[in-house]
Amino acid sequence: MAKRIEFAVHGGPEVLQYVDYTPRDPAPNEILVSNITIGINYIDTYVRSGLYPPPHLPSGLGTEAAGIVEKVGSGVTHINVGDRVVYAQAPLGAYSEYHCVPADKVAKLPNAISYEQAGSSFLKGLTVYYLFHLTYRVKPGEIILFHAAAGGVGRIACQWAKALGVKLIGTVGSAEKAAQAMQDGAWATINYREENIAQRVLELTDGEKVNVVYDSVGKATWLDSLDCIKPHGLMVSFGNSSGAVIGVDLGILNQKGGLFVTRPSLGHYINTKQLLQHAANELFSMVASGAINVNVAVEQQFRLKEAVRAHQALESRSTTGSSLLIP
């Protein structure tokens, strides 16, 4: 018997249960991973709440972890038992001691990358990679707006933008988070609980606004974000932390300057083994060189059985950077 997190009904963090289960053997082209660190991502809260319903209930939760390969299914040639690996695009159920994952969704860990670094950065780092290189190619010297800049994805974005010479304006929910974003390499911050986002962006860009806004906050920032974009610029709406953006009148894009909008996800961009390896290599070299620091605060490292508390912390906006579950 092993332990994992399951939920049988949708709801708040309290629906998460720590239960016994029997890990299955890997099917052809799968591997079984003994998880050492498990990534906590905001998307896990959408699956739990029912915003992104799982295929069935009861359901496991989580798609990201780092660990050691325990068993290898038939047909897998590039991964062996005992390899150190990380994955971010597994079927639901990574909040567990052992999890079966398609072998082409797994990257081997270089010696320079620890399980803690991998589990806390893989999903979020691959996301920043595709947002900055594939959805819209950011350019050195360019000013961009990135919401929730002190969150898990946000901290990596601040550091990656700095490494690329991009001037990132980061929105944050407190003075402490503003200080963190600046330490991570943001060019400027806006505390959106106290300041007017569009007004501050106008001031910071000498009235020009930005070519691109990366908005994972969703409902609460949608209109403000559109007001920050130059004519024909791009709104990248990639999350719903404050609620989903629904019922949009397309005329608003015309009124705000013929804007473009995209609603991407990791699976749309990192969708082959080759792309996964390439993006992983880019991320690992950033982390190994120290350009991106993904260390997790002690108070944000939770035992697997504390998943309820971990979700409460994430949704109360009290976390900074990434959080981990440890089996």
Confirm or reject binding of residue 16 to ligand NAP (CB under 6 A): no
Confirm or reject binding of residue 41 to ligand NAP (CB under 6 A): yes
The gap between the terminal CA atoms of the chain, to the nearest Å, is 14
The CA-atom distances, in angstroms, between 92 and each of 26, 64, 149, 198, 208 are 15, 9, 27, 38, 43
CB 15 within 8 A of CB 31: no
Q: How far is the CB of 74 from ligand NAP (least distance, A)?
A: 32
Q: Which residue has the tokens 């963190």?
A: 180
DSSP 123-182: HHHHHHHHIIIIIS---TT-EEEESSTTBHHHHHHHHHHHHHT-EEEEEESSHHHHHHHH
Which C-beta is closer to ligand NAP: that of 36 or that of 149? 149
Which C-beta is closer to ligand NAP: that of 96 or that of 221? 221
In whole angstroms, what separates CA 311 from the centre of its chain?
15
**Order of strands across the sheet with 167-172?**
188-191, 167-172, 143-146, 210-215, 229-237, 260-262
Confirm or reject binding of residue 124 to ligand NAP (CB under 6 A): yes
Whole-angstrom Cα distance, residue 184 to residue 161? 10
Query: 223-262 mask for ligand NAP (x: CB under 6 A)?
Result: ---------------xxxxx--------------------
Q: How far is the CB of 71 from ligand NAP (least distance, A)?
A: 29
The site that binds ligand NAP (CB under 6 A) totals a number of residues, namely 29
Out of 31, 32, 38, 43, the residue judged to bind ligand NAP by CB under 6 A = 43
Out of 183, 196, 254, 265, the residue judged to bind ligand NAP by CB under 6 A = 265
Q: How far is the CB of 156 from ligand NAP (least distance, A)?
A: 8
Which C-beta is closer to ligand NAP: that of 153 or that of 229? 153
Whole-angstrom Cα distance, residue 222 to residue 235? 9
Q: How far is the CB of 145 from ligand NAP (least distance, A)?
A: 14
Which C-beta is closer to ligand NAP: that of 188 or that of 266? 266
Q: How far is the CB of 21 from ligand NAP (least distance, A)?
A: 25
Length of the chain: 327
Confirm or reject binding of residue 292 to ligand NAP (CB under 6 A): no
What angle (nearest 5°) sits at the alpha carbon of residue 190, between those of residues 13 and 193? 50
Residue closest to ligand NAP (Cβ): 151
Out of 35, 117, 120, 127, the residue judged to bind ligand NAP by CB under 6 A = 127
Q: How far is the CB of 155 from ligand NAP (least distance, A)?
A: 8
Residue ranges in 130-189 that form contacts with ligand NAP under rule CB under 6 A: 148, 150-154, 172-173, 177
Query: 184-223 mask for ligand NAP (x: CB under 6 A)?
Result: --------------------------------xx--x---
The CA radius of gyration of the chain, in Å to the nearest whole number, is 20
Residues within the interface to ligand NAP (CB under 6 A):
41-43, 124, 127, 148, 150-154, 172-173, 177, 216-217, 220, 238-242, 264-266, 314-315, 317, 319
